[in-house]
């Protein structure tokens, strides 16, 4: 073990911080756009609040979407013209093909309509997405950024590097809010890679298991239980999800 100030790691830390600042900015920009569009759509719907005309429409088809408001395609007559449009509805089951429903439309723009009963405001859906983005910002971006920042601080406070032998073990998977696969990397002395069990292990999260190092790696930081260590292999840095701990859990299974 020796103390150094690796420029490659310093640059990786700088890029990591920039990445998360960019992510935070993107989340905030997305939230602002969703809110602005939602209020613009709300203003558009207020036209129907002030002067809508009611008529009877025939449902041509209904559409169910898992990640956006449901819709119903309808057809109705306005001044002898046949108008076809898609309504946003609360439940497409209530709008079966061939059924007749009462709609209200803008006489200056007849294709702008909504059902009198069972309407689902699209702008409320956008406000929901904006609220979700506000929650996802600290939960996803902030949580990972805090872990990486802690690892960077620990490494900079204890600028030790050591050559270790690594073996990758599968740990568990997170599905929500975003897919994320966690792995354990067993670490032991490069001089004694044949040990029956590694003295310490480090948890990392990567989308691709094949990117996780197996073999000789460089560990930045103090490789001791309770410390945070950043691994380097093949020019790539692997950021810890947890602190170094002693041994491996009984359920760990080696990959490969």
226-256 pLDDT, tens digit each: 888 888 888 788 888 888 998 877 766 766 5
pLDDT of 3 reads 42
Q: Work out the average pLDDT over 113-124.
A: 83
Q: Are the C-beta atoms of residues 223 and 164 closer than 8 Å to each other?
A: yes
Query: Do residue 137 and residue 211 come from a single domain?
Result: no
pLDDT of 54 reads 93
Give me the chain's average pLDDT, please.
79
pLDDT of 2 reads 43
Query: Do residue 235 and residue 146 come from a single domain?
Result: no
Residues 6+ apart with CB under 8 A from 229: 151, 154, 155, 187, 202, 219, 220, 221, 222, 223, 240, 244
Query: Do residue 1 and residue 87 come from a single domain?
Result: yes
Q: Which of 46-55, 112-121, 200-209 has the lowest mean pLDDT?
A: 200-209
pLDDT of 68 reads 61
pLDDT, greater one: 66 or 56: 56
Q: Work out the average pLDDT over 26-31.
A: 80
Query: Do residue 132 and residue 166 come from a single domain?
Result: no
Q: Which of 28-32, 82-86, 163-167, 226-230 has the lowest mean pLDDT?
A: 28-32
pLDDT, greater one: 178 or 59: 59
Q: Work out the average pLDDT over 5-22.
A: 74
Q: Are the C-beta atoms of residues 169 and 255 closer than 8 Å to each other?
A: yes
| Number of structural domains the chain divides into | 2
Neighbour count for residue 122 (Cβ, 10 Å): 19
Q: Where are the beta strands (DSSP E) in the chain?
A: 2-3, 53-63, 70-78, 81-89, 100-106, 109-115, 160-174, 180-189, 200-205, 215-220, 230-233, 236-238, 245-246, 253-254
Query: Do residue 230 and residue 256 come from a single domain?
Result: yes
Query: Do residue 57 and residue 142 come from a single domain?
Result: yes
Query: Do residue 196 and residue 133 come from a single domain?
Result: no
Query: Do residue 9 and residue 105 come from a single domain?
Result: yes
DSSP string computed for 91-128? -GGGS-TT-EEEEEEETTEEEEEEESSSB--HHHHHHH
Q: Are the C-beta atoms of residues 184 and 202 closer than 8 Å to each other?
A: yes
d(CA 7, CA 143): 26
184-216 pLDDT, tens digit each: 888 888 766 666 667 888 888 765 555 666 788
Q: Is the pLDDT of residue 72 over 70?
A: yes
Query: Do residue 200 and residue 235 come from a single domain?
Result: yes
Q: Is the pLDDT of residue 118 over 50?
A: yes
Q: Report the predicted TM-score, pTM, of the whole model to 2 decimal places.
A: 0.55
Q: Are the C-beta atoms of residues 70 and 64 closer than 8 Å to each other?
A: yes
DSSP 3-state of 212: coil
The last residue of one of the domains, among 90, 123, 157, is 157
The last residue of one of the domains, among 157, 179, 206, is 157
Whose CA is closest to 213, among 204, 200, 221, 222? Answer: 204
Range of the domain at 247: 159-256
pLDDT of 177 reads 47
pLDDT, greater one: 172 or 61: 61
Query: Do residue 93 and residue 212 come from a single domain?
Result: no
pLDDT tier at 135, thresholds 50, 70, 90:
confident
């Amino acid at each position: 073990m020796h103390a150094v100030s690796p420029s490659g790691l310093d640059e990786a830390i700088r890029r990591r911080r920039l990445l998360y600042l960019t992510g935070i900015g993107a989340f905030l920009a997305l939230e602002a756009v969703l809110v602005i569009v939602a209020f613009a759509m709300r203003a558009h719907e207020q036209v129907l609040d002030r002067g809508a005309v009611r008529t009877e429409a025939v449902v041509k088809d209904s559409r169910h979407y898992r990640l956006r408001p449901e819709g119903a395609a309808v057809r109705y007559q306005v001044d002898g013209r046949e108008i076809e449009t898609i309504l946003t509805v609360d439940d497409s089951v209530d709008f079966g093909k061939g059924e007749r429903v009462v709609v209200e439309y803008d006489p200056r723009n007849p294709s702008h309509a909504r059902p009198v009963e069972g309407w689902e405001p699209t702008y409320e859906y956008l406000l929901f997405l904006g609220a979700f983005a506000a929650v996802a910002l600290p939960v996803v971006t902030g949580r990972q950024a805090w872990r990486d920042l802690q690892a960077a601080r620990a490494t900079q406070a204890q600028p030790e590097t050591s050559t270790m032998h690594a073996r990758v073990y599968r740990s568990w998977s997170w599905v929500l809010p975003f897919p994320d696969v966690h792995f354990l990397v067993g670490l032991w002395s490069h001089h004694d890679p044949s040990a029956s069990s590694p003295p310490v292990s480090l948890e990392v999260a990567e989308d691709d298991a094949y990117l996780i190092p197996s073999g000789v790696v460089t560990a930045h930081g103090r490789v001791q239980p309770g410390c945070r260590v950043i691994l380097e292999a093949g020019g790539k840095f692997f950021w810890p999800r947890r602190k170094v701990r002693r041994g491996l859990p009984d359920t760990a299974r080696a990959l490969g």
